[in-house]
Structure 1
Amino acid sequence: MPGIDPLAFIIISAAFGTLCAFVLFVLGSGFLRDIKGLAHWGAACITMATAAFLFALRGIVPVLFSSFLPNLLVAVGVVTMHASLTEYGGFKRKTKLLFLILGAAALALAWFTFVQDNYRARVITMSSTLTVLFTACALLIFRLKEKGFAERFTGLAFLATSVVMLARCTAAFLQNSRVRPDTDTSLVHSVYMGTFAFSLVALSLGFMLMVSRAMHMKLEFLATRDQMTGVYRRDAFLALLDQTIAQSRLKRRPMSVLIIDLDNFKEVNDRHGHLTGDQVIIDFSSKVQQLLRRGDAIGRYGGEEFLVLLPDTTQDDAYSVADRIRAMAAEVWSKEVPAYTVSIGVAPLVADYPDSATLIDAADKALYAAKKAGKNHVMLACSQSYGITPS
C-alpha cells in the first residue's frame, strides 16, 4: 500500500503493547485485585509485543525467530486474551479445544516452514487459526452479563479483526503460490499487517476501558453498600428512597416500605457471642435478597434493623412480601446460625406520608405494634394519624 509502512505500525504497536502490559501488571498487583484477568491480559500484550519485535527482524535473524516463533506467539497471545476474558467474566474455563487448535496450528506451521517451505500455506494456517481465536474472544465478551460501551467496543474490535483474518485466508487461497513474504505487496496483505498493529492497540484500549468501568462499579458499590452484608448503607438507601418517592408520585405509581427488626437480638449476642450475631445478620440479609425482585432494594438502617423498598407495590402486596420474609427468616438454613425471628412494619406511600421521614415513621410505628403483639408478626400502618391495622 503506497505511503504506508506496515513495519512502522508493527513497531509502534509493540511498544504500545509493552506499555499496556506494564500498566495492567501494576493495576493487577495493586488495589484492583478483585477485578480478575489483568495479569493474563498483560501477559498477552507482552507475548504479542514480542511477536511484533520479532516480525520486525525479518531478514536479519533466522526464519525460526522471524517467522515461525512470532506467528505462533500471536496465536498464543490471543489464547491468553481468551483466558483473561474468561477470568474477568467469571466463566468456567474451557481451554482444551483452544489448545488443540493452537497445537494443530503449530504443527502445520512447523511443517510449512522447516519441511516444505510454503508461504501461502503458512498464511492460510495462521489466518484461519486467528479467525477462530478472535471470534472465540468476541463471543466471550458478548456473553458478559453487564455490557456497556467498553464491552461492545472491545467485542466489535475482536470481531472486526476476525473478519480481516478471514479475508486474508480467503485471499491466500486465490494467491499465486510463488509469492514470497518480501514480494507480497497486495492490498490484503498490507491491511492484514496493519490490522495486527491496530488490533493490539484497539483491543488493549478496549480492555482497559472495561477494567475502568469495572473499577468504577466496584468503588460505587463500596461507597453505597454495607461492608458486612452487601446491602445498601443507610445514607445510600435513604437517597434511593427519596428518589423513588419522587418518581412514584410523578408517575402516580404505588410504593411501599418495610422496616424489619430482628427479635431478641441482644439475647442472641449474649448467648452465642457477637460473631454469631453477625452471622445472623448476614444470614437474614441473604435470605431477603433472594426473595426480592430486581427493582426492590434492602438497606441496613442500623444494627439489626433493615429497610426494604418495594416500588410499584400496593400495601396488600407489600404485606404479602413482608409475611414471606417473616416466614423465611424463621427457617434454619445453617447449623452455625441459631434460630431467630423478625418483626416487620409495613407502610404504603399515601398522601399522609409526604416524604421519606414520615413514611419510615409510619412503618416504625407499625413495627412497634408488631413487637407489642408478641414479635414474629407483620403489622400494616394505616394513613390516619399513623394508626395501626393488625394483620
Structure 2
Amino acid sequence: MLGVEPRSFIVISAAFGMLWAFIFFVLHSSFPREIRGLARWGWACTMMAAGAVLFATYGALPVFLSSFVPNLLVAAGVAAMQGSVRAFGGLPRRDGPLALLLGFTALAMFPATFLDDDYRSRLIIMSSVLTLLFGACAVAIYRFQQKGFAERFTGGVFAATACIMLARCLIAISQSPSLTRPQIDATPVHQVYMATFSFSIVALSVGFLLMANRQLHRKLESLAMRDKQTGVYRRDAFLALLDREIAESRSGKRSMSVLMIDLDDFRAINEQHGQQAGDRVIDDFSAKARQSLRRNDAIGRYGGDEFLVMLPDTSAEGAQAVGQRIMDAAAEVRRDDVPAYTVSIGIARLEAEREDAGAIIEAADKALHAARKAGRSRIEFAAEPVRR
C-alpha cells in the first residue's frame, strides 16, 4: 500500500498537463513547420489536463461530467499523442481507426456509467483502450527510421505505461464485482498507477521534446551544410564528409567511387538564354541528380557548374551505372523554362590503400577533362588510382 491520495495526483496531473500544453503550443509557433506533431501533442496534454480536472470533481458534479467525459478526454488525449508521434515520424495518419476506437469507448462506457454505475467495468474498458493506445504509440516510435536515445526513452515510457494499463485491466477482471467506487480501489496496481500517471505525462513530454530538439538540430545543421541555391552540400561540407567516408572505407577495406560532373557549355547557355536561365539549369540538374542517387550517396557543389558525387561501397560498374542515370536524367527535357543541356562525368575509384580526398578529386577531375576533350556528354574513368 502506497497510501496515495488520489485527488492530489489528479491535481498534479492537471497542472503538469497544462504546463506542457503551453510549452508545446509555443514550440509549434516557433519551430520549423517540417517538425510536425507539436500542436497535436499540445492538444493531447490539454485534453488530459481537462480530464484530470473533471475527475477531481467526482461526487460534486454529475457523473456525466465527473466520469464519462473525463474518461473520454483521457482516451482522446492519448489518441492525439499517437497521432502526434506518427506525424512527427512521417508515418501515415490513422485518424479513422482512432475515431472508431474512441466511438467504441463511448458506447461501451455509456451503460457502465449511466445504466449501472459500475466502476469495475469502466476500469476494464478504459484500461483496455489505454493499453492499445499507449502500445500503439510505442510501436509507432519503433517504426521510426532513425532512433536515438530520445526515441528509445519515449518509446520505453509508452511501453511501460501500456504494461501498467494492462496490469490494471487484468487485476480488475479478477476483482470482485462489488468494487463500485474509485475511492475504495486500493489495489497495489491502482496505487502505482495513481502515483506514476502524472509523472508519466512529464516523462513522455520530456521525451517528445528531446525528439523535437534533435530534429531541429539536424535541420539547422543541414541548412548550414547545404548550398542555398541547390540544396546540395556546400563544398567545405562535402569535402569534410568525403574525408570521413575515405577513413571509414580505408578501415573497412571497402571500395568507393567519386564522380566529378560538369555542365557542358554552361557559359554558352548563360550567354544565349541569360543568367536566370542558367540558374534554372543548375537547379534542374541538382534536383535530377539527387533523384538519381541512392540513400547513402551524397552530392556537393564543387564550384559554379561543377558538382561532386560520393558513392560509398560502389564498384566501377556501379559508379558507371549511377553516372549514366545522372547523364540520362540531365538530357531529358522536363520544363519549358529550362534550356536543353548535357553533362560530362569523370569517375575515380577509391580503394583501401588510396590517398586522401585531394588525390581522388584530382583523379576524377582528370577523367572529367578527358570526357570533355573526347566530345562532352560522356563518362570517362581515371586511368590509374593514385596509391600511397
TM-score between both structures, scaled by the size of structure 1: 0.89
* CA deviations over 1:276-321 (Å, ceiling 9, x no partner): 4333323322333333333332111122210112333455654454
Contact 1:164 1:195 in 2 (8 A): no
How much does 1:73 deviate?
0.7
State the shift of 1:226 in Å.
2.0
Question: Does the alignment pair 1:145 with 2:127?
Answer: no
Deviations 1:8-38 (A, max 9, x none): 3332232222222111111110133220110
- Counterpart residue identity of residue 304, structure 1: D
8 Å contact kept, 1:254–1:312: yes
Residues 167 and 305 from structure 1, CA distance in 2 versus in 1: closer, same or farther, beyond 3 angstroms?
Answer: same
What residue in structure 1 maps to residue 241 of structure 2? Answer: 240
State how far apart, in whole Å, the 1-side matches of 2:120 and 2:143 are: 35
Matched with 2:155 is 155
CA contact (8 A) 2:299 2:309 kept: yes
Deviation, 1:77, is: 0.4
Distance 1:170 1:248 in 2: 54
Code of the residue aligned with 1:143 in structure 2: it is R
| Pairing 1:117–2:117 present | yes
Aligned to 1:24: 24
Shift in CA distance, 364/57, structure 1 to aligned 2, threshold 3 Å: same
Instruction: State the AA in 2 paired with 1:348.
Output: R
Q: Which residue of 2 aligns with 1:389?
A: none
The residue type paired with residue 268 of structure 1 is I
Matches within 5 A, 1:190-205: 190-205=191-206
Deviations for 1:247-280, whole angstroms, at most 9, x for unmatched residues?
3444444333221111122333344444443333
Q: Secondary structure at the match of 1:301?
A: strand
The RMSD of aligned alpha carbons is: 2.6
The 1:177/1:287 distance shift into structure 2, 3 A limit, reads same
Cα distance in 1 for partners of 2:204, 2:83 equals 14
Return closer, same or farther for 1:354/1:98 CA change in 2, 3 Å cut-off.
closer
- When normalised by structure 2's length, the TM-score is 0.90
Amino acid at match of 1:331: E
Task: Note the alpha carbon deviations across 1:201-234, whole angstroms, 9 max, x for none.
Answer: 2211111111112112112211212233332111
Match of 2:264 in 1: 263
More divergent stretch after superposition (74-83 vs 222-231): 222-231
Contact 1:260 1:342 in 2 (8 A): yes
Partner-residue secondary structure (3-state), 1:182: helix
Using the TM superposition, name which of 333-342 and 295-304 deviates more: 333-342
The equivalences for 1:183-194 within 5 A come to 183-194=184-195
Give aligned pairs, total.
385
State which drifts further: 292-301 or 34-43: 292-301
One-letter code aligned to 1:45:
C
- Which consecutive residues of structure 2, in runs of 5 or more, have no partner in the other structure? none
Alpha-carbon distance between aligned partners in 2 of 1:170 and 1:218, rounded to the nearest angstrom: 44
Q: Identity rate of aligned residues, in percent?
A: 57
Q: Which residue of 2 aligns with 1:363?
A: 364
> What is the match of residue 379 of structure 2?
378
Contact 1:259 1:364 in 2 (8 A): yes
Q: 1:254 to 1:142 in 2, by over 3 A?
A: closer
The answer for the alignment partner of 1:289 in structure 2 is: 290
CA distance in 2, matches of 1:228, 1:64: 58
Residue 388 of structure 1: aligned partner: none
C-alpha displacement at 1:373, in angstroms? 2.3
CA distance in 1, matches of 2:189, 2:254: 59
Kept in 2: contact 1:254–1:349 (CA 8 A): yes
Q: Which residue of structure 1 aligns with residue 38 of structure 2?
A: 38
Q: Contact 1:363–1:381 at 8 Å: present in 2 too? A: yes
Shift of 1:99: 1.0
Q: Who is 1:105 aligned against?
A: 105
Gaps of 5+ in 1: 386-391
